[in-house]
A and B are shown apart, each in its own frame.
Chain A
Amino acid sequence: MPDIYMDHISANPVLPEVQQAMLPYLGERVGNPSSLHKWGQAARDDVEAAREKVAALIGADPSEIIFTSCGTESNNLAVKGLALANEKKGRHILCSAVEHTSVLSSAKALKRVGFETELVPVDRFGRVSPEDVQKRIRPDTVLVSVMQANNEIGTIEPIAEISKVTKERGVLFHTDAVASAGNIPVNVKTLGADALSLSANQFYGPPGAAALWLRQGTRLTPLLDGGFQEENRRAGLENFPAVIGMGKAAELALADMPHRLVYLQGLRDKMIQIIPSIVPHTVQTGHPSERLPGHASFCIGFIEGEGMLLWLDDSGIAASSVSACTSKALKTSHVLLATGMETALAQGSVVFSLGIKNTEEDVDYVFEMLPRIVDKLRKMSPTYAKFLKGVV
């Protein structure tokens, strides 16, 4: 049986070159980057080299990179850290309705200390319009947070256009680029945001390393109190093996990006074109073209996502779903609902997120198996039976 991994939005393999870069620090190399001795200074040099590579990936200055432990931490640091540093100016925050829970929950946590959060709606493709942001900016608005690409539906947001609005109104703008950085060209100069979150594992780096890019001169209230690491913005011993791996992964992603982009877009477009034609009553979710290169997401009518995932797994295909049954909270995806997806149809969510090791054959195998799986589940679906009888 094949062994096909199509869940890169959840986790990515660590590339061999990245492993090689990290290995010394998982073995004999020792030294806290804050220490003065030669061991510490060697670790410091390697961390700083990694910082340069991560900065280069997004067109930033190395001094603007704050290493963190994961995308969630970067988003918490951005939302809470920027809001709290500016609370004298106001306590109003704008987030898109499709943000990752680490952004939405950070904003919600701020409600307890007197902040007010307003959600900016999206269209049926999951896109935020700059006008909708503009309309909601108030004199007391201190932060706007809109993700660059959505992990559930793949849609890429018009960040550069939104930043024009925030700049004009003098409001800070954070973008969660965890799903996009390292996968599509990201340049903080042209994006015009003030803060940007990125995570190593999304571009074949190790889990445990992520970063927040913060525009020079932007004030931030740290979340962790302790030492003076990361220019006093993130206390705690750097996870330097992972940070060094992140640097290597960033270097490879930048060099290989044109190739990866074209390759993954080809496979993705094939899936987007073919799956709705071989599985009736299927809708593609997210934007048809403004989307992550390897991201093909659908809602399949009359069946539920978890059953689909179990059968796909049984056939050797690893995919994901955002149906209520597959979520730990047993709630329908707030992203799909924000796009106006019918709740029952949202339960049939399936996401194929492709990686550079996936092949044409892998995609063809999905085309072979998926219709059979859907058929099997529909045969036992009461809603499909009602549909066939014309009851619904």
Chain B
Amino acid sequence: MTNNEITVRVDRVSKSFGDFTAVKDLSLTVRAGRVFGLLGPNGAGKSTSIRMIVNITAPDTGRIELFGRHIDSQLQDRIGYLPEERGLYKRMKVADQLRFFAELKNVSGKFANERIDYWLARLKLSEWKLKRTGELSKGMQQKIQFISAVLHDPDLVILDEPFSGLDPVNLELLKDVVLELKRAGKTIIFSTHLMNIAERICDDICLLNRAEKVLDGSIREVKKSFGRNSVALRIESGNGNLDSSKLISKIEHHSDEIEVLLTADANPQEFLKQLINSGAIVTKFEMIEPSLNDIFIEKVSET
């Protein structure tokens, strides 16, 4: 699979429940082998979009293609899905449960058993293999559910809020596993509202708000297009006549540095020159990329 291959193509898809529009005219493409983050506040339409991609609900209008084909039930075997609403059979033993979910994806026998053992070990759950699922803690059950989504070695893994409710150690563990899957060439779509995690593992993102796409693209592109022209600044002796500079639109004072937001058409080099000319000693001058969190908050509050 080359990186330009498209795994998921969502084309002008809408879905409403009665009067409520859950997803409106959504188009996006997910390239093979990349980690795609579906971001947005609660109720933005992330879960509905995901459900349409995994063929649980059908869109009202528009078209969804997976692996270059119109979605059908056979393609479902190539998808692993972790729904936001977790659900496991409480009374079943962990191993039986996982074997059942594997069989539903047409994976059975020795291969299934090996995979179960591998994944239980990878997520540090081996000793729970023969326990009833109901006896496990919530976090452990969540990891079991994650295993059920990746057990059959799917090409496309779709995770709806996979990190919610995990402690920091398990969160780190799961993040590593996701990156491992990426290295193995899998395509991963996940939704989250935890921007710091999305920032660290996503290649591409799509931001939804109120059923509509607000922005999408690779993280780098998004940040670039969002270039707010911010500079982190540390100056010794004098304030460099910051207040009088026409290039600045906003100044924020932090403990030992100043964050300066330049006007939209200002050239940072010009600003630096100005500082030096004014006699200030600049010990730090760093262009700041906007964090995903900043983008998120700004975009969501502006719509």
Q: Do A and B bind each other?
A: no
Which residues of B are at the interface with A, using a C-beta cutoff of 8 A?
none
